Amino acid sequence: MTDKQEVRLAGFGGQGIVLSGHILGKSAALFEKKNAVFTQSYGPEARGGSCSADVVISDAPIHYPKVKCPDVLVLMSQGALATYGDAIRPGGVLIIDEDLVKLSKEPEGLTVYRVPCTRIAEEMGKKIVANIVMLGAVTALAGVCSYDAMKESVLSSIPAGTEDLNVSAFDKGYQYASGLLKPSKVPSGRRGL
> How high is the mean pLDDT of the chain?
90
Give the residue from 9, 3, 38, 20 showing the smallest Cα distance to 157: 20
Give the residue from 93, 95, 25 showing the smallest Cα distance to 55: 25
> pTM of the prediction?
0.89
**Do 78 and 102 form a contact (C-beta atoms < 8 A)?**
yes
Q: Which residue has the higher pLDDT, 44 or 150?
A: 150
* pLDDT, tens only, 176-191: 999 998 654 444 443 3
Span 4-185 CATH architecture: 3-Layer(aba) Sandwich (3.40)
Strands (E), the chain: 4-12, 35-42, 50-58, 72-75, 93-97, 111-115
* pLDDT, tens only, 121-135: 999 999 999 999 999
* Cα–Cα distance for residue pair 133/107, rounded to 1 Å: 24
